[in-house]
Amino acid sequence: MACQASKWREGKQNRSSDSLRKKAIFSTFQVQKAGKTGLSDSPSFQAGYRGFESRLPLHGLTGCSSLGAYFGNNILDSDSEYELPLDVDMTWAQPQYSRREVNQAGETLLALLQGGRDVADSARWNHALDIVDNFRAAHAFPLNTIQISLRRQARIVDRNVIVAQRLKRLFSIYMKLDRFKKMQLWDMQDIGGCRAIVQTVSNVNQLTEAYKESKIRHARAHEDNYITCPRESGYRSRHLVLRYYSDRSEVFNGMKVEVQIRTHLQHSWATTVETVDAFTSQALKSSRGRRDWERFFQLMGTANALHEGTEPVPKTPTTWRELVPELRSYADTLRVKTTLEGFTTAFRETRNPSVRNADYYLLKLDSAAESLTISGYERKELPQAAREYADIEKQIRAGAAGDAVLVSVDSLNDLERAYPNYFADTRSFIEELEHALKA
């Protein structure tokens, strides 16, 4: 199979009307909650439902949970999509700037940062950053809508799936603009991104096809299969890019969201790359790191591919007999196991009281102090979280060591599993390395 991106025809998908969705939801609510007791026709039930209907999108549907948790699977096992509407309980950031203004802001940031000047107090920097922050924050609503449908499909394929969502870090935005010279900020496809982590490659393929065939209303724009055609860095996953569409929240129409679907093995590789980047001040993720570390991760990418029975990474040995000696040489020279374990041993973690029952988590990694601070926010506090996220990134650009990301997952337990790089947790990767060296 040729290694090229496949394009989907963009167009309007099948769209269910609001009234049909409400009828389906009410019908399930009636049967499951009242039908067996004979209360569904009572005045008190009808009055209760009218109040419930007005808050339906909020009941059990916080930033990272699904309607299935409240209603069971009857509704969400269908191919239709439920959209989280704009509501009065929180203010979702909306795009305030034109395509031209957003693209100019991206160019300004790139020019200032490439120039190496002190931009912390620059008026141009601050104005451009305000525009970028708004553009990024405006992806939260379409991102949340799309991750709900991903979660629904993923739980059918793998009941233990981990689903997470995040808004792209400012540094990552800069690095991508710098790497792809012709790219404009408005067209960047992964400002908003959600990810499903499943057990096997078969699960990845099954979920990808199920999601593509579901009756989502968003235009399906692009697909990359980095499992069949791995990147030269060793990265492996499947990516889908969607253009958000809604007839009720039209202000967000056209905004792109990237969906990543990968196995735990692929996830461990990718997050360990980010861990090494954070603690050694490299940019391996953008193919701008030390060549010895880059080669090591290429070889580990092929080791994982051989374990999963998929295509090897380009320009690497294709058999265990050829691979293991070179992999062992780099692992020993770089002292990979000792280095990774050292990150974890010295690491300190602080969790603010707000993390309990949170819908969103702001992770602030201080690589110099080898510490992580976790703050939690309810869904209605997302605008505050976005502002604090932007403030931390300004501090980082002004010279503070570290990194930050704003994410949403089901639980604190899933937080560490979805973002082990922020916890300096590379235990799974070390186990995979030891297993590969014994192959």
Q: Give yes or no: residues 119 and 29 share one domain.
A: no
pTM check: above 0.85: no
Residue 2, pLDDT score: 54
Residue 85 lies in a domain: no
State the average pLDDT over residues 158-187.
Answer: 93
Buried b (16+ CB within 10 A) or exposed e, 51-85: eeeeebbbeebbbbbbbbbbbeeebbeeebbbbbe
Q: Give yes or no: residues 409 and 358 share one domain.
A: yes
Q: Give yes or no: residues 181 and 321 share one domain.
A: yes
Q: Give yes or no: residues 147 and 228 share one domain.
A: yes
* Two tokens, residue 162: 């981990």
**Residue 140 reports pLDDT greater than 70:** yes
Residue 181 lies in a domain: yes
Q: Give yes or no: residues 111 and 260 share one domain.
A: yes
Residue 286, pLDDT score: 85
Q: Give yes or no: residues 50 and 165 share one domain.
A: no
| Phi–psi pair at 378, nearest 5 degrees | -75, 165
**Residue 282 reports pLDDT greater than 70:** yes
Residue 115, pLDDT score: 72
Pairing type for strands 403-408 and 238-243 reads unpaired
Residue 5 binned pLDDT confidence (cut-offs 50, 70, 90): very low
pLDDT in tens, 385-417: 989 998 888 888 777 777 899 999 988 889 989
| Phi–psi pair at 403, nearest 5 degrees | -155, 165
CB 192 within 8 A of CB 273: no
CATH number assigned to the domain comprising residue 221:
3.30.460.10
Nearest in space to 143 (alpha carbons), one of 408, 388, 358: 408
Residue 114, pLDDT score: 77
Q: Give yes or no: residues 64 and 94 share one domain.
A: no
> In total, how many domains does the chain have?
2
* CB atoms closer than 10 angstroms to residue 216: 22
Residue 117 binned pLDDT confidence (cut-offs 50, 70, 90): low
**Residue 273 reports pLDDT greater than 60:** yes
**Residue 266 reports pLDDT greater than 80:** yes
CA distances from 144 to 151, 262, 408, 429 (A): 10, 19, 9, 30
- Residue 162 in 3-state DSSP? strand
Provide the CA 206 distance to its chain's centre, in angstroms. Answer: 19
Residue 187, pLDDT score: 95
Domain with 349, as residue range(s), is: 90-437
What CA–CA distance (Å, rounded) separates 306 from 435?
12
Buried b (16+ CB within 10 A) or exposed e, 160-173: ebbbbbbbbbbbbb
- Residue 134 in 3-state DSSP? helix
State the average pLDDT over residues 155-173.
Answer: 94
Residue 11, pLDDT score: 37
- Residue 290 in 3-state DSSP? coil
**Residue 276 reports pLDDT greater than 70:** yes
Pairing type for strands 371-377 and 256-263 reads unpaired
